Amino acid sequence: MIIVLRPSATDRDIQKLVVRIRGLGLSPHVSRGKERTVIPVIGDDRVLATVPLLSYPFVEKVLPVLAPFKLVSREFHPKTTLVRARGLLVGSRRVAIIAGPCSVEDERMIIRIAKAVKRAGATALRGGAFKPRSSPYSFQGLGEEGLRYLAAAREATGLAVVTEVLDTRDVGLVARYADVLQVGARNMQNFELLKEVGMSNRPVLLKRGLSATLKELLQAAEYVVSRGTDQVMVCERGIRAVEDYTRNTFDLNAIPVLKELTHLPVVADPSQATGKWSYVHPMSLAAVAAGADALIVEVHDRPEDAKSDGEQSILPVRFAALVKAVRKVARSVGRTA
């Protein structure tokens, strides 16, 4: 941590700060320049981060040196973590593909789509039983009934089941049915939920918040990992920016940056990130070329009747073509799919 003082800071101010910092067991190194005095502090930034240094009127800026996350950092754990859930393996040379409808609508529908995506090459099934919807008047998911149908679809196909959990009270329930617990973008900083899923004994797929920085995403992942698991995937699913032809802005820079900062595997969600079925194909390929470890794709066989996200769901036949295209691009960058 580096503390920059205002030009008006007096010797007494500096002394006061030095005493305070030493009291925390850290070593301040006062460096007086012509225009500013700066104080690099040797020791763990995370201790000093708890002190509101900017409330001192003589402090102008506080510049952190270390990242505010540790357990999830590649610096702490250089090798990419492999996340496993039944047939799903994320973080290896092989790009994993998770696919399925936005919501589970009925039992036959989810089994039918599960079979279709399995046939096309998916290794896990996505599908929502608890749905976070902007409007209270939209379909809110089938709840436990939906979880049962997902389990039936797993039975029928062997695919691992990835599904979202919204409420701390439901973590146990969802964990009984699902193989991977998803925490959605709107809950990325629902810290109580993060703690709870971290203790669920299930791998977690954590989506980036709508306007979260990657630092915040990794701090959220740190909440989960600090509960004792390393089975966490982080997912770029588009952020809110200026563009309105697409529902979100797919920040693909995030993929190489996350691969550099963290050992957790990185998933990309081109369906949420674009919001429109016709862009899912090219953006899936782009995500793989950028280095994503997995894709999560919305597939529906009657998108015009879908109870949610029909406009961004692709047909099974298009999904099959997408898997083939993903394989080609994966090979071109030295991976498989």
Please, are residues 175 and 200 in contact by the beta-carbon 8 Å criterion?
Answer: yes
Tell whether residue 22 is a contact of its own copies (CB under 8 A).
no
- Helix, strand, or coil here: 95? coil
Please, are residues 236 and 253 in contact by the beta-carbon 8 Å criterion?
Answer: no
Q: Which of the residues 87 through 146 are near its own copies (CB under 8 A)?
A: 132-140
Q: Which of the residues 151 through 170 are near its own copies (CB under 8 A)?
A: 166-169
Q: What is the CA radius of gyration of the chain?
A: 23
User: Contacting its own copies (CB under 8 A), which of 19, 201, 282, 336?
Assistant: 282
User: Contacting its own copies (CB under 8 A), which of 12, 78, 79, 245?
Assistant: 245
Tell whether residue 186 is a contact of its own copies (CB under 8 A).
yes
* CB nearer to its own copies: pick between 103 and 157: 103
- Phi, psi at residue 237, to the nearest 5°? -135, 20
Paired tokens of 293: 């470890």
State the amino acid at position 140 in one-letter form.
Answer: Q
CB of 96 to its own copies, least distance (A): 18
Pick the stretch among 88-96, 104-112, 172-180, 251-259 that binds its own copies (CB under 8 A). Answer: 251-259
Helix spans in 96-140 (H): 107-120
CB of 160 to its own copies, least distance (A): 25
Tell whether residue 182 is a contact of its own copies (CB under 8 A).
no
Q: Give 149: exposed, middle or buried? Use CB within 10 Å, 0-12, 13-18, 19+.
A: buried
* CB nearer to its own copies: pick between 154 and 237: 237
HSE (side-chain half, CA atoms, 13 Å) at 1:
22
Paired tokens of 103: 């919501």
User: Contacting its own copies (CB under 8 A), which of 22, 119, 176, 240?
Assistant: 240
Please, are residues 52 and 1 in contact by the beta-carbon 8 Å criterion?
Answer: no
User: Contacting its own copies (CB under 8 A), which of 179, 232, 313, 320?
Assistant: 313
Tell whether residue 223 is a contact of its own copies (CB under 8 A).
yes
